[in-house]
Structure 1
């Protein structure tokens, strides 16, 4: 067969497999399980009070008046973005239907490092919303020139605008001195004063979204006075609310593919993790993705549990990426004690974990740090929320030691760390490590 025939056959094979994957998927409309999707109001659950407040605050935009500034605060995944985006979408449709040019300009401040970059991102998004060119370069001009271009776009193309600053507290900027004004304070002052100073022909309102309930305390006095927002508080979802949220997205799946218990289990896992709806929806979606990967026609509780384990591993890996090798070794040794202990340990004694750490550093021919260094590394692990610690006495004259309890499954922590390049060879000596762990545990408890 000619090379061209081989290429055509391969192309047809790939296409067939892609089509088969689509046809056999457990999903019907997977986009409903995108946590950031703007959804219909009948899918909004457990946020009646917040929804009523934001509708009330944004109603003036439909009446040709200026809405107040707003501060939406609460933990991640509690519906802040969902609610403000859903209401703004309806305001946009109503205003445009009556001939008013209403605009919604949104930026997420999480990845924006400076005031200048935030202003340029606003210009980009405003230009896109207006259907015009950005009109200025990203670099080589002052922030004031970028801000002027932003005001120009708003004045020429909109009667009323709401500017949504998601995760606004992360826009700190380059503070060379602890007393420097954070970038978000300066930006809020400029945006909330623009109409009053005649910089914009039209109404401008700002909705700032934050996880920090003390956000206003860090604002400069001028910014606080000019921003002067209406507060909308978003508490954690409880398990019943999370279950109702997932029920209203059940139609993301094909009819009949979800086994009983999938939605309650997904909601229960997310409720344990501070009532985060994003995590509930992610888990619900990942369970289906696992079923698709395995070519299975139904989604069962095993898929949800595997999705939860994957999520824990991903989160753990992300948190661990910045740790030094010594900190990883300390954490791995401590997790190994929890994983391999034949005793039913409620917590890992630091004395045992340090001896296992010594063994592992010798196995890897790595530098062995002192016990004090090990304890310091584990204190940092506590600040990262990998473990909690508690001091425990060993009886009269025997002093005290620390005991560590893992926040997540210690087996997931150990497996994640084992994937690190410096720990690959440890995997070959798992049985030996288990023997060392239990020998040290026996010595420790026999000495009590």
Structure 2
């Protein structure tokens, strides 16, 4: 148990961290924050379309269903939520009972669970009890309760199904329709079938431009949405997005070049605004963590490495130890090489792998096994490969190039497969890597 002085010390450290932070309003750098319209950038056409489609709700008419599609981080959730927030405020001033019910389908595993989540969120929006248990009753009973809540509390409702294509459900039969198809059919037909008093509109958000092709014919016909297409942001648009969130930071803490660098990194990663904002925030967190009162380019670069490391770790967690060891052996070749070596010949990497198995006293797999492991790494987009000729009569070999920084890959794997044990041998490993490189090039 700690004494009073220790408790005070903890409080003091917490307060100091708040007072000395580079952030003024960190919430502005949460990608899911519903932001003011003057912070929306590069989405004028999409904004105009959604405003046009939702305006009928203020006139006592039913808005059309909508399909918002485009890559991750291109503003789909941002725009629909920003418009709906303004619509809620306007409807309230006109005494219109308008509601917004939203679910994210990413973690929902079944049609039944999706319906229950809709009931829960509708009950919260209406300020009433859920009224049905999560289990022990049929999906139809839950759906009827959902319709009951809507009928009693709203004149018009828009239902937002984010990442709708991930609501596949438990398809025991390959020909069985996915859960999202069934749900879209039920929601789209509710008004026509007299299930509710009032209007339901559905806005489905997806990354899949071919989403409609997977719908059952009945669902496609009843859903019949207006399409709103979202394309990737370019570097200039990403820069404008971050500029409009600059006030998340204290005045004068952002060194010149921070925003362009954050935008450039995100633009390389398919124009994802979420990643740009995340990188911009992480740079500040690193500055805070280091006790610094300014955010520099090195913080952005460190944030990018952290993001790559997190993504790489998530992808690599399912690989076996031998696969990780093969990947690690390949990654350290360009790191330790005294030559400017970006593409790694498989011959060199396999010999380094053999040396590492000896140091770690673990099983040594064959060259064919190593090549299979690296082929799998290529399917996961850790590396790309190219075949190279070694001269007349010498055959061909594969060369591997890492998609992410090989240092990030190596650091991630080092902690994951007890390679800390080999740290005392680092200089020897470097010499082995360079000896294999020289042997390889002298032989060509």
TM-score (norm 1): 0.97
Q: Deviations over 1:375-427 (max 9, x none)?
A: 22212211211111112222232222211111110001000000014323122
Task: State whether residues 192 and 204 of structure 1, in contact with CA within 8 Å, keep that contact through their aligned partners in structure 2.
Answer: yes
Structure 2: how far apart are the matches of 1:400 and 1:142?
Answer: 62
Structure 2 alignment gaps of length 5 or more: none
Structure 2: how far apart are the matches of 1:297 and 1:183?
Answer: 50
Q: Deviations over 1:136-171 (max 9, x none)?
A: 111111111111111111111111111111111111
Q: Which moved more, 1:79-88 or 1:136-145?
A: 136-145
Match of 2:254 among 255, 258, 263: 258
Task: Give, in angstroms, the shift of residue 43 of structure 1.
Answer: 0.2
Q: Does 1:127 align with 2:128?
A: no
Task: State whether residues 321 and 417 of structure 2, in contact with CA within 8 Å, keep that contact through their aligned partners in structure 1.
Answer: no
Structure 2: how far apart are the matches of 1:275 and 1:427?
Answer: 38
Q: Which moved more, 1:438-447 or 1:306-315?
A: 438-447
Match of 2:392 among 371, 389, 396: 396
Q: Does 1:57 align with 2:53?
A: yes
Q: Does 1:161 align with 2:157?
A: yes
Residue aligning to 1:286: 282
Structure 2: how far apart are the matches of 1:145 and 1:419?
Answer: 50
Structure 2: how far apart are the matches of 1:232 and 1:427?
Answer: 53
Q: Does 1:68 align with 2:57?
A: no
Residue aligning to 1:37: 33
Q: Does 1:306 align with 2:319?
A: no
Q: Does 1:196 align with 2:176?
A: no
Match of 2:9 among 13, 23, 32: 13
Q: What SS class does the counterpart of residue 130 from structure 2 fall into?
A: coil
Structure 2: how far apart are the matches of 1:145 and 1:341?
Answer: 66
Structure 2: how far apart are the matches of 1:173 and 1:347?
Answer: 42
Residue aligning to 1:179: 175
Residue aligning to 1:445: 441
Runs of 4+ in 1 over 4 A off after TM superposition: none
Q: What SS class does the counterpart of residue 419 from structure 1 fall into?
A: helix
Structure 2: how far apart are the matches of 1:235 and 1:347?
Answer: 33
Structure 1 alignment gaps of length 5 or more: none
TM-score (norm 2): 0.97
Structure 2: how far apart are the matches of 1:206 and 1:429?
Answer: 61
Task: State whether residues 190 and 200 of structure 2, in contact with CA within 8 Å, keep that contact through their aligned partners in structure 1.
Answer: yes
Structure 2: how far apart are the matches of 1:246 and 1:410?
Answer: 29
Q: Which moved more, 1:364-373 or 1:250-259?
A: 364-373
Q: Which moved more, 1:336-345 or 1:422-431?
A: 422-431
Structure 1: how far apart are the matches of 2:191 and 2:334?
Answer: 60
Q: Does 1:422 align with 2:421?
A: no
CA separation of 1:425 and 1:12: change in aligned 2, threshold 3 A: same
Structure 1: how far apart are the matches of 2:423 and 2:99?
Answer: 56
Task: State whether residues 325 and 422 of structure 1, in contact with CA within 8 Å, keep that contact through their aligned partners in structure 2.
Answer: no
* CA RMSD, Structure 1 to Structure 2 (Å): 1.3
Q: Which moved more, 1:78-87 or 1:384-393?
A: 384-393
Task: Give, in angstroms, the shift of residue 256 of structure 1.
Answer: 1.0
CA separation of 1:47 and 1:436: change in aligned 2, threshold 3 A: same
Task: State whether residues 344 and 400 of structure 2, in contact with CA within 8 Å, keep that contact through their aligned partners in structure 1.
Answer: yes
